[in-house]
């Protein structure tokens, strides 16, 4: 008699739960990270840190079908990648401040010039140059960055002081507060209830038309909360060329419409 022993079912090869590969979309030069996992559909996203296209898909969907999906979304992919790269470039320009470097002021290059052992601590703008005077014999990177940032903030505030009364009268609104701060995902915001507006400090690097467009955009929200037909009709009424400046800002990867 032969002993049968304990019966075991035949082994079944199972698919890994997650498989990650790096692919290239044919004839486009678009590289993407493909993550296959247990999901029902195909999902795309663009990484904010590196602008990399990331695709998630079920195990059973063939790669050629994924290629077809991406080709249909090619314009969207390239636009989003361009926006994120422009946004990173904008941030890098704000961070890369040193003696002899340049920064944009109202879309015009200005050279930074540091003067040590001066009689006073002072920062001023003169004939395409941002002059930084310090009593000390040197400025740290942090100190120089702070001095330039304060000057840029003051310059933008001065510009808004001249433009705000004009636009408030033209649009027929008034506000209780306008402030400036760094914002990662929008050029401006409006608290309708409190009638408070914030604008992004990075606007100081943009053409003046862009600054006015964002200001008008936020003021119009006091008439219309939503981005609907009435809102855009009001934008056309008060600033007929607003779309020109809106397009310029969109290339920088931050939206004026995320309120």
Q: How many domains is the chain partitioned into structurally?
A: 2
pLDDT in tens, 56-114: 999 999 999 999 999 999 988 888 887 777 666 555 555 567 888 888 899 999 999 99
Give DSSP secondary structure letters for 57-123.
E-TTS-HHHHHHHHHHTHHHHHHHHHHHHHHHHHHHHHH---TT-EEEETTEEEEEEEE-S-SS-EE
47, 72, 92 - which closes a domain: 92
pLDDT of residue 213: 97
Read off φ and ψ for residue 143, nearest 5 degrees: -65, -40
The domain of 134 spans 104-250
Q: How far, rounded to the nearest angstrom, does the alpha carbon of residue 94 sit from its chain's CA centroid? A: 13
Is the domain of 72 the same as that of 149?
no
* Structural domain includes residue 71: yes
Using an 8 Å Cβ cutoff, are 142 and 95 in contact?
no
Cβ contacts of 10 within 8 Å, gap of 6 or more: none
Cα–Cα distance for residue pair 69/148, rounded to 1 Å: 47
Is the domain of 136 the same as that of 220?
yes
Using an 8 Å Cβ cutoff, are 131 and 115 in contact?
yes
pLDDT of residue 106: 93
39, 70, 92 - which closes a domain: 92
pLDDT in tens, 132-159: 998 888 888 888 888 999 999 999 999 9
DSSP 8-state secondary structure symbol assigned to residue 226? S
Using an 8 Å Cβ cutoff, are 252 and 90 in contact?
yes
């Amino acid at each position: 008699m032969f002993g049968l022993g304990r019966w075991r079912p035949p082994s079944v090869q199972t698919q890994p739960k997650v498989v990650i590969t790096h692919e290239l979309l044919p004839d486009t030069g678009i590289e993407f990270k493909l993550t296959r996992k247990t999901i029902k559909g195909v999902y795309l996203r663009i990484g904010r840190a590196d602008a990399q296209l990331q695709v998630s898909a079920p195990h059973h969907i063939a790669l050629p079908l994924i290629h077809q999906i991406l080709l249909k979304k090619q314009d969207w992919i390239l636009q989003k990648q361009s926006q994120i790269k422009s946004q990173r470039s904008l941030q890098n320009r704000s961070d890369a401040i040193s003696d002899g470097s340049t920064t944009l002021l109202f879309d015009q290059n200005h050279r930074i010039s540091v003067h040590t052992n001066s009689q006073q601590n002072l920062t001023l703008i003169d004939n395409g140059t941002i002059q930084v005077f310090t009593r000390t014999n040197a400025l740290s990177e942090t100190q120089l960055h702070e001095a330039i940032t304060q000057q840029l903030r003051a310059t933008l505030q001065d510009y808004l002081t001249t433009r705000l009364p004009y636009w408030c009268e033209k649009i027929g609104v008034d506000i209780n507060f306008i402030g400036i701060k760094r914002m990662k995902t929008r050029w401006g915001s409006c608290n309708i209830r409190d009638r408070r507006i914030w604008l992004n400090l990075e606007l100081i690097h943009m053409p003046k038309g862009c600054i006015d467009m964002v200001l008008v955009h936020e003021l119009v929200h006091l008439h219309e909360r939503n981005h609907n037909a009435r809102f855009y009709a009001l934008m056309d009424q008060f600033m007929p060329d607003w779309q020109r400046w809106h397009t310029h800002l969109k290339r920088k990867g931050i939206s004026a419409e995320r309120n």
